Amino acid sequence: MSPMATASLVLYFLLFCLLPIPLSSAETYIVGGSTGWTTGVANYSAWAASHTLHVGNTL
């Protein structure tokens, strides 16, 4: 096998191995924003509506 064919085969193998890896990210949110988790002060419905939460986020 020629060196070019070997290099191509190695490259395709590496791409095949690395492509299925899902990328992930997570964020940390302070519930209620700057007022934090309090009673009677924060509008949690409005706060939740202004954020897009995903699995893996920390509240």
> Do the domain assignments include residue 37?
yes
Quote helix, strand, coil % in the chain, to nearest 5.
Answer: 40, 5, 55
Show the DSSP H helices in 1-59 as ranges.
Answer: 3-18, 44-49
> Do the domain assignments include residue 13?
no
**How far apart, in whole angstroms, are the C-alpha atoms of residue 2 and residue 19?**
26
The amino acid at residue 9 is: L
pLDDT score at 42: 67
Total-model pTM: 0.37
pLDDT score at 41: 61
pLDDT score at 55: 77
Could you give the number of structural domains in the chain? 1
> Do the domain assignments include residue 5?
no
**Residue whose token pair is 């690395």:** 18
**How far apart, in whole angstroms, are the C-alpha atoms of residue 22 and residue 31?**
28
Q: Could you list the residue range(s) of the whole structural domain that residue 59 is in?
A: 23-59
Can you give the pLDDT of all 59 residues of the chain as single tens digits? 788 889 999 998 888 887 776 777 778 887 777 777 777 666 778 878 888 887 777 77
pLDDT score at 47: 78
What are the structure tokens assigned to 21, written together? 């890896």
> Do the domain assignments include residue 41?
yes
